[in-house]
Amino acid sequence: MAFMDVQPITHGHMLVVSREHAVLMADLNDATAMRSFRVARKLASIARSTLGAAGVNRVGAEGEIFRRTIGYSLILTAAVGIVAMIEVYLIPGIIPTFG
């Protein structure tokens, strides 16, 4: 299964995923892994010819380190948002107003 990303990182950015669940790529059976690769290869060719994509990059985001990175990124984003709200609403005058 493949789909275009709603917020593409690059021109022609798309995601190819298998319907079979696996925690790690190594957990996929060979047939599923090869089918996913064939789909990615075919779509890469189409993306280059129709969308003008410059190249292909395969990224496998898997494992515990990926989950921790996402978790800590969400925590950091929430903390920055809270600090911004405190600066705007609880400390008047920190942001200059013109008028």
Domain boundaries of the chain, sorted by first residue: 1-60, 62-99
- Give residue-wise pLDDT tens across range 36-66: 888 888 888 888 888 777 777 666 666 666 6
- pLDDT-derived band at 1, boundaries 50, 70, 90: confident
- Give residue-wise pLDDT tens across range 9-41: 777 778 787 888 887 778 888 898 888 888 888
CA atoms of 19 and 53, how far apart (whole Å) = 26
pTM over 0.85? The answer is: no
Which alpha helices (DSSP H) does 2-91 contain, by range? 30-46, 63-85
